[in-house]
């Protein structure tokens, strides 16, 4: 079956889909994106992803490519045409195409909208969760507006590449004061000796993860103690459990940081419980 990609009003075969060479997303990373989990052919936490997408667009003064309702129809059509039950949906909006110049183009530029989806092997992802992942720390060299989900991802690419070279599946980024900000493509969490969850508060230093936000709902429902504060790498190394959250992995156990085992060196019991009940509180689209 041919994969189908939505680009600026058209559903095209994967190999033929493309954008203009002077698209500002390509030239300046003048673009934002979203990644949404697809489960049972439905979108997970669509409302929160759309809220964040609109916020990102607003912060950068990029025009909305279409109404929320129309965008919802495009996303569903991409899932449907690709017949995806379990996977990920990727949406990107750029400021549009214009002759290369730094300031925003004058007049009406049409934002570029790309939407694609891909299958995820659920068995592989579950095997990964059962084993837990290794994390390596890297200095956080990103900019001061990490709360905006831009495609300016080179620092994350470099951090992940370095982590992979160290045998790890994720990088935890560390600020100049020694505190973990977040993962290169995930939010970072630990569980202390008293069973309290600790994660960094939202602000300019991290992306406000949708999975993070939904997990907060779950924690309050389950009456699990939580402290939103920054934690150091040393604290993380001494933690009872650690995990990351993201739309692509939901709650994913971390079993080592810089090759030091966390807790028992196996996925934590609280982490696995949260993973198993996460979708009870997440929104599923119709």
In whole angstroms, what is the distance from residue 267 CA to residue 13 CA? 40
- Which segment (58-66, 75-83, 184-192, 259-267) binds ligand PMP by CB under 6 A? 184-192
- Which segment (61-69, 70-78, 117-125, 181-189) binds ligand PMP by CB under 6 A? 181-189
Quote the radius of gyration of the chain (alpha carbons, Å).
19
- Which segment (10-18, 60-68, 79-87, 179-187) binds ligand PMP by CB under 6 A? 179-187
Write the CB contacts of 118 (distance below 8 Å, at least 6 apart in sequence): 3, 82, 84, 87, 88, 90
Task: Report the site for ligand PMP in 215-254 (rule: CB under 6 A).
Answer: 245-247
Q: Does 92 bind ligand PMP (CB under 6 A)?
A: no
Q: How far is the CB of 151 from ligand PMP (least distance, A)?
A: 10
31-39, strands of its sheet edge to edge: 10-13, 4-7, 112-119, 87-94, 31-39, 42-43
Which of 91, 134, 207, 254 is close enough to bind ligand PMP by CB under 6 A? 207
Q: How far is the CB of 20 from ligand PMP (least distance, A)?
A: 25
What DSSP designation does 97 have? B
**# residues contacting ligand PMP (CB under 6 A):** 13
Q: How far is the CB of 245 from ligand PMP (least distance, A)?
A: 5
Q: Which residues are catalytic?
A: 149
Q: How far is the CB of 74 from ligand PMP (least distance, A)?
A: 19
Contact between 270 and 264 (Cβ < 8 Å): no
Residue 195, classed as helix, strand or coil, is coil
């Amino acid at each position: 079956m041919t994969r189908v990609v939505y680009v600026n009003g058209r559903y095209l075969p994967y190999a033929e889909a493309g954008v203009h060479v002077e698209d500002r997303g390509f030239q300046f990373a003048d673009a934002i994106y979203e990644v949404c989990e697809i489960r049972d052919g439905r979108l997970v936490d669509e409302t929160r992803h759309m809220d964040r997408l609109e916020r990102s667009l607003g912060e950068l003064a990029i025009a909305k490519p279409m109404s929320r309702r129309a965008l919802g129809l495009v996303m569903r059509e991409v899932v449907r045409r690709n017949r995806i039950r379990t996977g990920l949906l990727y949406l990107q909006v750029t400021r549009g195409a214009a002759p290369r110049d730094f300031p925003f183009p004058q007049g009406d530029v049409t934002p570029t909208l790309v939407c694609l989806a891909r299958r995820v092997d659920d068995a592989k992802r579950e095997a990964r969760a059962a084993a837990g992942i290794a994390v390596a720390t890297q200095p956080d060299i990103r900019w001061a507006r990490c709360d905006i989900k831009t495609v300016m991802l080179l620092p994350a690419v470099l951090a992940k590449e370095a982590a992979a070279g160290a045998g790890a599946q994720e990088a935890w980024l560390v600020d100049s004061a020694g505190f973990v900000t977040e993962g290169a493509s995930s939010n970072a969490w630990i569980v202390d000796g008293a069973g309290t969850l600790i994660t960094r508060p939202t602000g300019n230093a991290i992306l406000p993860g949708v999975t993070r936000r939904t997990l907060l709902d779950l924690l309050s429902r389950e009456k699990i103690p939580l402290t939103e504060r920054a934690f150091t790498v040393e604290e993380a190394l001494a933690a009872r459990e650690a995990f990351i959250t993201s739309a692509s992995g939901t709650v994913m156990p971390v079993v080592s940081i810089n090759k030091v085992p966390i807790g028992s060196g196996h996925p934590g019991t609280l982490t696995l419980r949260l993973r198993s009940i996460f979708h009870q509180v997440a929104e599923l689209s119709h």
